[in-house]
Chain A
């Protein structure tokens, strides 16, 4: 993989009338999968559409694959695949017809039949675009973004409104793209999507990047994690505490329901289960709750991310 960033955004400002959609945003995306995460109205789409060359920055610079998306558009367009949030297809066109057409605009397109099968678009047959289901429309837009064998694809909320299977299919495709060396910038307001797919996550709120890092980096730190189990009531919590590292706490919340708070790692789990074994306790319903991006987001912004 190349080491130079695929996207470099510096001090980007974009206003619509009096509303500032993007407010001094800095973002560097390395090759791989970058998720741009944020609530509705955070500036995700504006940022991505500026990278795609649709919007001209009011100030700041944007470079995609080292090129200016507005002034070097002709050079950039064949190298980039775009999936819009919605639409983009002739209302009278059939799914496969539109995909074949996009393929014809490229020099070395993917095999359309294979792509149609891969994304389950074969069943759309002769149905016109407007009468496809939302999921079929989304998958068609995704196929149109990748059919030209781009170096970089922008996916704007690629799984919004998809059922779980279709969502999985999209995730699998993103993973395959990554494995074959295609870089992906995707916007989402689903935490799990970012955690599952992204090498790097940029959290956007109020038109700025408020945190960036790998999902693990972002989930580390912050508030502590929790381990819970149930056993017979009245276990010796003091003895359990002695077995645990010093910074942990343990308590019986309700009779027979126990909670350990601290740095939850494999060692801690092993310590708890071996203490249970020594004391003849079967820890039923043992579970760990680790920090998710959702918690991180709540801590950073105090806002609900899902909408």
Chain B
């Protein structure tokens, strides 16, 4: 049945780039295969964009609704993948011993985290392309510097990833599932995604404005809707969240 010598030891790790590429590809496949994840990352942002652009439910201020909504929905897309999706997926990977098993494979931990980040970025690119196409179809006319948009998306991703991993690495998988969805819902409503922050009063606006989702949606809106330059204030808020979140995740993350 098996020829002698089949199992003769010949150990060795694959080259790092190959390991990271394989891991990123697997993580991305797992994410795209998961129905609930797709609901969060694709269906909900798309529905919100289409629905609120075409039906006048929320007063989005002067101008076309889509010009207000598209930046908010892009921010939501980043949050859905980097925070909610990543937290839930990583929480269950921890629960099911995937992180533990990978920890004894040749793949170093930092390479696993690199692969996870790559998989988040790939998913975000797909989301941004999809949402941009839909927004254009709805009559979106964006302004501003693409580099500023890119920087906001990247720093926003870092901020949400840190918070997502912090949650996944410290709470039980079921708690992460519930909390990540709840936070998604709360930030969707109170983070300037579809409802302008002015609606929460001036104190509300100031407090909510410090949330990462508000900073990201506000920053994207400044650039894309109003053609502003680099929104340093919002970038600063996101950077603080990113540093604090990633540092806390690095310190408190438990692998099993």
Any B CB within 8 A of the CB of A234: no
Give residues of chain A (178-192) contacting chain B, Cβ–Cβ below 8 Å: 179-182
Say yes or no: A150 contacts B9, CB within 8 Å: yes
Taking a contact as CB atoms under 8 Å apart, the answer to whether B14 and A88 are in contact is: no
- How far is it, in angstroms, between the C-alpha of A118 and the C-alpha of B256 when the chains are bound? 31
The reply to whether the CB of A105 lies closer than 8 angstroms to some CB of chain B is yes
Q: Pick the contact of B14: A82, A91, A106 (CB < 8 A).
A: A106
Give the docked Cα–Cα distance between A74 and B111 (Å): 12
CA distance A102 to B19 in the complex (A): 9
Partner of B8, one of A89, A118, A180: A180
Contact yes or no, A106 B12, CB < 8 A: yes
Partner of B104, one of A53, A87, A93: A53
* Contact A93–B30 (Cβ < 8 Å): yes
Q: Which of A11-19, A141-149, A211-219, A271-279 contacts B (4 or more CB under 8 A)?
A: A141-149
Chain B residues touching A, range: 35 or more
B27 — nearest CB in chain A belongs to which residue? Answer: A90
Among the 9-residue stretches B90-98, B118-126, B129-137, the one with 4 or more Cβ atoms under 8 Å from chain A is B90-98
What CA separation (Å) do A84 and B105 show in the bound complex? Answer: 12
Whole-angstrom CA separation of A151 from B108 in the bound complex = 19
Q: Assuming the A-B contacts A77-B13, A92-B33, A149-B8, are A105 and B105 also in contact, with contact meaning beta carbons closer than 8 angstroms in the complex?
A: yes
A148 contacts across to B, CB distance below 8 A: 11-12, 105-106
In angstroms, how far is the closest chain B Cβ from the Cβ of A232?
49
Residues of the A chain whose Cβ atoms lie less than 8 Å from the Cβ of B62: none
**Cβ contact within 8 Å between A104 and B14:** yes
Cα distance A91–B19 when bound, in Å? 20
In the complex the two chains form, is B96's CB within 8 Å of A150's CB?
no
Chain A residue at minimum C-beta to C-beta distance from B98: A90
Q: Nearest Cβ distance between residue B115 and chain A, in whole angstroms?
A: 11
Chain B residue at minimum C-beta to C-beta distance from A102? B105
Chain A residue at smallest Cβ distance from B34: A92
Instruction: Indicate if B101 sits at the interface (CB-CB under 8 A).
Output: yes
Contact check: which of B7, B11, B98 meets A79 at CB < 8 Å? B11
- Chain A interface size range: 35 or more
- Interface status of B22 (Cβ within 8 A of chain A): yes
Q: Which of B1, B6, B26 has the most CB of A within 10 A?
A: B6
Given A54-B104, A93-B26, A106:B11 Cβ within 8 A: yes
- Whether, in the assembled complex, B4 has its beta carbon less than 8 Å from a beta carbon of chain A, the answer is yes
The answer to whether B9 touches A149 (Cβ under 8 A) is: yes
Which residue of A78, A90, A92 contacts B12 across the interface (Cβ within 8 Å)? A78
> B30 — which chain A residues lie within 8 A by C-beta?
90, 92-93
Nearest chain B CB to A6 CB, angstrom units:
11
Smallest Cβ distance from A67 to chain B, in angstroms? 12
Shortest B26–chain A CB gap in Å is 5
B1 to chain A, nearest CB (A): 7
Q: Are B11 and A78 in contact (CB under 8 A)?
A: yes
Cβ-defined partner of B101 (8 Å) among A79, A87, A92, A176 = A87
Query: Once bound together, how far apart are the Cα atoms of A148 and B30, in whole Å?
Result: 22
Smallest distance from the beta carbon of A182 to chain B beta carbons, Å?
5
Known: A105-B14, A180-B6. A88 touches B22 (CB 8 A): no
Query: Are B13 and A106 in contact, CB atoms less than 8 angstroms apart?
Result: yes
Residues of B in contact with A (beta carbons under 8 Å apart): 1-2, 4-15, 18-19, 22-23, 26, 29-30, 33-34, 92-93, 96-98, 100-101, 103-108, 256
Besides the known contacts A104-B19, A180-B6, 10 further A-B residue pairs in the complex with CB atoms under 8 A apart: A53-B104, A87-B100, A88-B100, A90-B26, A105-B19, A106-B11, A106-B106, A149-B10, A150-B9, A180-B9
Complex A-B, nearest 4 residue pairs according to Cβ-Cβ distance, in ascending order: A87-B97, A107-B12, A88-B101, A180-B7
